[in-house]
Structure 1
């Protein structure tokens, strides 16, 4: 059995909405509803833990009426929010996913489950299509081989006991990371497998992302 840990405690600074982007509505449903549906309808998921800000808790509770769902207040950073959510996880595997990434498909979830059976961790990614450069002061410094570059997405899947241990170590070592896979690799010195996903599994970050999601959801 699996758990889904949905990180939804962020703000909407880059979208310019003035409220948490998880409440942005497309086809009469919030982004968070679109996201959560993918896990509610999958019987393999025993529980769904949503990490929220204190200000958003009551509103989200009014939206969802499902016994699978649990709620926890997030921390001051994404990493702290995930750690808070992990404390409620009770299954062997946990899918950590962005609350504002609503276009994840069941086919990707199925592929992640399959690979996770033989790995400690597995994440979705897409291959880079454009030329990739390192730059400095608005000038190209050097080109990077795009065949060695991947763009990381969520969900990211972990054996629950291992990712809990990794997060505890990160706290003890006072280390911060941009995502859970990098934390897992650095703190436990373990490998993370890759599963190629689809480009439209986008996270709502800017107004352009919201416009695109209106077309594809």
Structure 2
């Protein structure tokens, strides 16, 4: 069973309010990209594809080379789906973990658990129960409290059998 990681890093950082793409925002002296790559390098995928914003491929190659000797950096699209598709075009393995560089503190153990679950599932999405109270709102007025026991906060890496994700992207 071979596994690739597609590291989606082409986000502009608009919601973050940053003047630079999210992946190159620094936290404690390292970019979010570097922090993500550090955890991915501990996982040791068979293949790594980094999806970069247009114009930043050389910078992303330089940062990725600190952690990997064999990798590919490709230009992402305007949407996450387009960026994932750009990364998937390079995948040569049986399985793929799609991870967001903005989730830079995801430990190796999460990658391991998602990868292990792919032995019996075509798609695996890590999720957590929300701790916060969640309200449904209309026009700034609270309609009701949502039962948080029925909700999950979806995270990455999201794991797929490569053929399953390619079929989904083509649909």
- TM-score normalized by the length of structure 1: 0.73
The Cα shift of 1:98 comes to 0.4
Task: Report whether the alignment pairs 1:15 with 2:16.
Answer: yes
The size of the alignment, in residue pairs, is 168
Please list the CA deviations of residues 92-124 of structure 1 after superposition, one character each: whole Å capped at 9, or x if unmatched: 110001011110112212211221111111111
3-state DSSP of counterpart to 1:5: strand
Q: Structure 2 matches for 1:68-87, cutoff 5 A?
A: 68-87=70-89
Q: 1:132 to 1:27 in 2, by over 3 A?
A: closer
Please give the root-mean-square deviation of Cα atoms over the aligned residues, in Å.
1.4
Q: 1:136 to 1:27 in 2, by over 3 A?
A: closer
3-state DSSP of counterpart to 2:69: coil
| Partners of 1:7 and 1:98 within 8 A in 2 | yes
- Unmatched segments (≥5 aa) in structure 1: 170-217
- Unmatched segments (≥5 aa) in structure 2: none
| Partners of 1:122 and 1:158 within 8 A in 2 | yes
Q: Considering fraction of residues, name the structure with more helix.
A: 1
- TM-score normalized by the length of structure 2: 0.91
Task: Give the whole-Å Cα distance in 1 for the aligned partners of 2:115 and 2:144.
Answer: 38
The Cα shift of 1:36 comes to 1.1
| Partners of 2:42 and 2:108 within 8 A in 1 | no
Q: Residue in 1 aligned with 2:38?
A: 37
The Cα shift of 1:15 comes to 2.7
Q: Residue in 2 aligned with 1:53?
A: 53
Task: Give the whole-Å Cα distance in 1 for the aligned partners of 2:3 and 2:150.
Answer: 31
The Cα shift of 1:76 comes to 1.4
The Cα shift of 1:67 comes to 3.0
Q: Residue in 2 aligned with 1:5?
A: 6
Q: 1:38 to 1:137 in 2, by over 3 A?
A: same
| Partners of 1:7 and 1:50 within 8 A in 2 | yes
